Amino acid sequence: MADIHHQGLDVDPKPEYYGPHSQRAYRGMILAVRSTQDPRALIPTLRKEIAAIDPDQPLANVRTLETVASESIAPRRMSVVLLGTFAGIALLLAAVGIYGVISYLVVQRTHEIGVRMALGAQRQDVLRMVVGHALKLVGLGAGIGLVLAFLSTRALAALLYSVSAFDLSTFLFVPITLAAVAVLASYIPALRATRADPMIALSHNA
């Protein structure tokens, strides 16, 4: 017989043995029924057959295997949902923060941008400069975050099921997502900088 997750899907199987119920009886028993039909449609039939064997034997807590499996990992699923929700809020706040910082830097460097454009810099050069600055900031933060995430994998492993705490796709997806957020958040200030009139920009804080 193959291994069975008797205590839950998130608990590794332990050595067990099967013995006669007459030698070691329990107050409760579990009856597993396999069917190619909808399992819920079999409940009346199961009650009838069990009543035919023992009319005083109640049939309670009838559930499908999918429900049992779902309830087994429900606490961890809730923890992951909460963690994902807070991560989404943090990502939104990061996007707002990047937008604010880049907007401030664009205002502070308006004169510099005007000089660059007056000397022949193209709009795409200014756009690349502003977005590149945002990517440098995000790259530094992402690097620090990846180091901290790597150090906290042991704590996160307790919340994961069938997923390695060192999942490579996750470690690649997060920096790519942060880079995309940085580009989007800095694009509007960068685009605003490219549309500035060089003459007005040169007179700014001159």
Rounded to an integer, the average pLDDT of 136-152 is 83
Q: Got the DSSP string for 38-81?
A: -GGGGHHHHHHHHHHH-TT--------HHHHHHHHTHHHHHHHH
Summarize pLDDT for 28-50 with one digit per residue, the tens. 777 888 888 888 888 888 888 88
Q: What is the pLDDT of residues 125-141, one digit of tens each?
A: 888 888 888 888 888 88
The structure's pTM equals 0.61
Q: Side chain identity at 141, as an amino acid letter?
A: G
Cβ–Cβ < 8 Å for 138, 178: yes
pLDDT in tens, 160-193: 666 666 777 777 888 888 888 888 888 888 787 7
How many residues make up the chain in this entry?
206
> What pLDDT digit, counting tens, does each position of 71-121 carry?
877 887 888 889 889 988 988 898 888 888 888 887 777 777 777 777 787
Secondary structure class of 160 (helix, strand, coil)? coil
- C-alpha span between 190 and 103 (Å, rounded): 8
Helices (H) and strands (E) in the chain, counts: 8, 0
Q: Quote the pLDDT of residue 21.
A: 74
Binning the chain into helix, strand and coil, the percentages to the nearest 5 are 65, 0, 35
Which one-letter amino acid corresponds to residue 46? Answer: L
